[in-house]
Structure 1
Amino acid sequence: MLLSMSAVLLLGLFIWFLLRIRYLRWADALLCGTFGFLLARTVAAPAVQMLLTGIGAILGQLRF
């Protein structure tokens, strides 16, 4: 658990740095943050995974 929290913290700091130098857009930061939560398996990971599953189900039901 301690290692995963450190990984999320480091990823967050790296994303913050990229945002400060205006190299990263907000949408990219959101994707990086989501990936970090899923990869690190923190306490918040199940909630993020459920949200992504729900969004995927909604998008799967759309008919164009």
Structure 2
Amino acid sequence: MILSMSGVVLLGIVVFLFFRKDGLKGTHACTCALFGFYLSSTAIAPSIKAGGASLASLLGGIRF
């Protein structure tokens, strides 16, 4: 719950900054779509959340 809530807050801030500073471009629209999936409770939302968790795990496991 903490990870998904912080993800929603982070994506919300990013969407707000994209909208205010740069206009809304294609990549920004993808971020907005992810934000929408995290906020919604559709049947595909758990898959999107699992993908986000897997990506976070993958990025967290990279050693420099």
Percent identity (aligned): 33
Which 5+ residue runs of structure 2 have no aligned equivalent? Answer: 1-22
Structure number with higher relative contact order (C-alpha < 8 Å, ≥ 6 residues apart) = 1
Letter in 1 for 2:34: T
- State the TM-score, normalized to the length of structure 2: 0.59
In the other structure, the counterpart of 2:37 is 37
Flag structure 1 segments of 5+ consecutive residues without an equivalent: 1-22
- Rg comparison, structure with higher value: 1
Number of aligned residue pairs: give it.
42
Moved over 2 A (4+): none
Within 2, Cα distance between the matches of 1:34 and 1:24?
Answer: 14
